[in-house]
Amino acid sequence: MQRKTPMKRSGFKRKASSTLNPFSGTAVLKGTTFKRKARKKRAGHCKTSLSACAGQPCYLRIDGVCCGDWQTTVPAHRNEGKGMGLKTPDRLTVPACFTCHAEYDQGNKLTRDEKRGLFNAAYDRWAPYRARLLGWETEGND
């Protein structure tokens, strides 16, 4: 199959410049023409649990590592139950100083079982105090 007349080489017609610019005219008055999706809420996210750790002493207290500085206290999440794209719920946190938190997450001085035991002991000390602090009922008490 062969074409007898050549194709027109006119190209596409450009639209008016006002429709090309998203920030022209009334779009500027509204702020933006692009809609943003609302952020997805993370399962288990609890701001009160995280804020309760602020200004608390270190509960992990790893021997030879803990600096005991209350100014560097941050919430340390449990290492079990997390993976790619997952994080443990915020209620499973304990206050830890910067050095204990770094050793707990990235350190190699302790085995996995020792870290698990340290966290469980710290959580057992922290959970009743946090429940009183936030006005939550402690689990298992009638």
Residue 38 inside a domain? The answer is no
Q: pTM of the prediction?
A: 0.66
Q: What pLDDT shows up at residue 74?
A: 92
Higher model confidence: residue 139 or residue 77? 77
Among 63, 90, 61, 66, smallest CA distance to 78 is for 90
Q: What pLDDT shows up at residue 31?
A: 57
CA–CA separation, 128 and 53 (whole Å): 13
Residue 71 inside a domain? The answer is yes
Range of the domain at 121: 47-77+89-132
SS3 category, 75: strand
pLDDT at 140 over 50: no
Residue 142 inside a domain? The answer is no
Residue 137 inside a domain? The answer is no
Q: What pLDDT shows up at residue 125?
A: 93
Residue 70 inside a domain? The answer is yes
Residue 57, C-beta contacts closer than 8 angstroms, at least 6 positions apart? 68, 70, 73, 95
Using one digit for the tens of pLDDT, what is the confidence trace for 78-126?
A: 988 777 777 788 888 999 999 999 999 998 899 999 999 999 999 999 9
Q: What is the CATH number of the domain that holds 104?
A: 3.30.50.20
